[in-house]
Amino acid sequence: MNPLNTWYINFLFFLTGNERPLCALSIRYGAARYALHAAVQPCCVPCSAWPLAHHFAFRSLCRQLIHVCNRTLASCNMDPLSVVASIIAVLQLSAKVLASLNDVKDASKDRAHCAIETSNLYGILTNLRSRLEEGGSSQPWYTAVRALAVENGPLDQFKQALETLQVKMTNGGRLKKAGEALMWKFKKEEVASILGRMEHLKTLVEIALQMDHFKLSQAIRDDTNIIRTHVPVIQSRVEKVQQDQDSTNHRRLLEWISATEYPAQQSDIIKRRQEGTGQWFLDAPEVSRWLSEAKGTLFCPGIPGAGKTMVAAIAINHLLVAAQNNSHGVAYVYCNYKAQAEQDASSMLAAILKQLVQGRPSTVESVERLHKQHADRGTKPSPDEIYSALRDVLAHYSTVHIVIDALDECRNSDGTRTQFLTKIRDLQAEQDVCIMATSRFIPEIVDVFREALTLEVRANREDVKRFVAGQIYRLPGCIQRSPALQEIVQENIVEAVDGFF
């Protein structure tokens, strides 16, 4: 029950002077009005003399009170078996928590205290269950006991405390693996909050077992303020534990699908960029057209040392900045002849899948399905399975740009490059996927991109001059002090590189 609702009920309880919980009364509008009028009459002017605003306020309060009472009557009309069912559910959870507490590796005082209190409550709740199963539901005592089981009431609070223990000890509810020990991960204030809930419920149940229905009603009313304080704390901690666990599971799934760290490589490359370089590429008409076209393909060939990888990094950086806070996705692969053994079609497709799921965490279900199919068997998804997962993820993006650097360094002796490109182009045929690839002038690769937009990568004169200007501090002091000598050095280097960078 909402603590505010409980306050309203207790408010009427005190006003009317009833010795039974008000939830057992049949309250109607007239009765509520009479109760309020009788209570306020001695210290107020007659209701006939109230200002109009007071009448409206009074009627509004009565409507709220009637709504609260109707809800409470529904809760309190539970038969004893319904209350027993609530107690049984708590007893079952208590047994699980006790088992987990006994398995905890850290034998701290807090852990022992929680185990003792849980065990004590288990015992007295069992007694209460037996008492309820013995008698009928017409006695005032049963009416009072029902208040223990109302929504967000004492039993609910104890259940939430148990769930907090269970979730945090068992790693978010995950089943313990063989040989894996449970750990005690609670702070002092968390333990104090949990023990406080246990102590309050124990007090209420002990009163109930004394068969004193009036005292029990009073105690439950007093407990309302404590509930108001502890409910948000307990709920927020359970949610925080669950969020942390979800985040950890998300990272593990993505690490399983692909261990590659292309974003880290991208960061390292872009750090080496001399400020202002590469603007010629972004300003090129071919690039502007590629960025604006649906399902566009841009091929950027170049001689060795022309700066193809830096151009790819600049393109990726531009796309990532433009894709922030919208439905555009960006993924990329840096091929490397030194890593040809690891860079097969499956691993490169999986790397793209990983990056796109990172951009849309809600799409992780596609990876979860693959994990369920393969993790226990120790196998990896096939290119077709990853392709299917990619199709599902791409549906959550309006446009996706895929950049592939150094395609010529991807092996093709076993058909890896051909298989990878085929899958990427199949995705492009179904979704709005834009592809950019850099490569040396390899005839078979050039032929694959013969119908694509083509922009050759060459060392741009202005880029070379900017780079040299940024390295002047490395040259002898006589050059550093002479702008004329610096200009000569820059021009000679620009002429010498002849397209290399």
What residue segments make up the domains of the chain, in order of their start?
3-75, 80-248, 262-458, 459-501
Question: DSSP letters of 256-305?
Answer: HH----HHHHHHHHHHTPPTTTTHHHHHSHHHHHHHHSTT-EEEEE--TT
CA angle, 302 as apex, 297 and 304 as ends, to 5°? 140
Given a contact cutoff of 8 angstroms between Cβ atoms, the answer to whether 359 and 443 are in contact is: no
Q: Are β-strands 433-439 and 297-301 bridged in parallel, bridged antiparallel, or unpaired?
A: parallel
Q: Please name which of 162, 157, 148, 154 lies closest in space to residue 114, comparing C-alpha atoms.
A: 162
Tokens of 48: 């006939």
Give pLDDT, residue 398.
93
pLDDT by position in tens, the chain (length 501): 444 344 334 434 433 333 333 333 333 333 444 344 443 443 444 444 544 444 444 445 545 544 444 444 444 445 556 778 888 888 888 888 878 777 766 656 777 877 888 888 888 788 788 877 776 544 666 666 777 777 777 778 778 878 877 776 765 544 444 444 556 666 777 777 777 777 777 777 777 667 655 455 555 555 555 555 555 655 566 566 666 667 788 888 999 999 999 999 999 999 988 787 888 999 999 999 999 999 999 999 999 888 899 999 999 999 999 887 778 999 999 999 999 989 999 999 999 999 999 999 889 899 999 999 998 888 999 999 999 999 999 999 999 999 999 999 999 999 999 999 999 999 999 999 999 999 999 999 999 999 999 999 987 667 666 666 667 677 777 777 778 777 777 676 666 665 555
Q: Which fold has domain 262-458?
A: Rossmann fold (3.40.50)
Rounded-to-integer distance, Cα 31 and Cα 286, Å: 81
Contacts of 372 (CB under 8 A, 6+ apart): none
Tokens of 440: 């040396």
Give pLDDT, residue 235.
59
Rounded-to-integer distance, Cα 483 and Cα 466, Å: 14
Altogether, the residues listed in the chain come to a count of 501
Q: Please name which of 334, 280, 266, 310 lies closest in space to residue 455, comparing C-alpha atoms.
A: 280
Give pLDDT, residue 117.
82
Given a contact cutoff of 8 angstroms between Cβ atoms, the answer to whether 265 and 403 are in contact is: no
Tokens of 107: 């034998």
Q: Please name which of 264, 255, 260, 261 lies closest in space to residue 367, comparing C-alpha atoms.
A: 255
Give pLDDT, residue 17.
39
Contacts of 348 (CB under 8 A, 6+ apart): 333, 335, 410, 420
CA angle, 142 as apex, 12 and 196 as ends, to 5°? 75
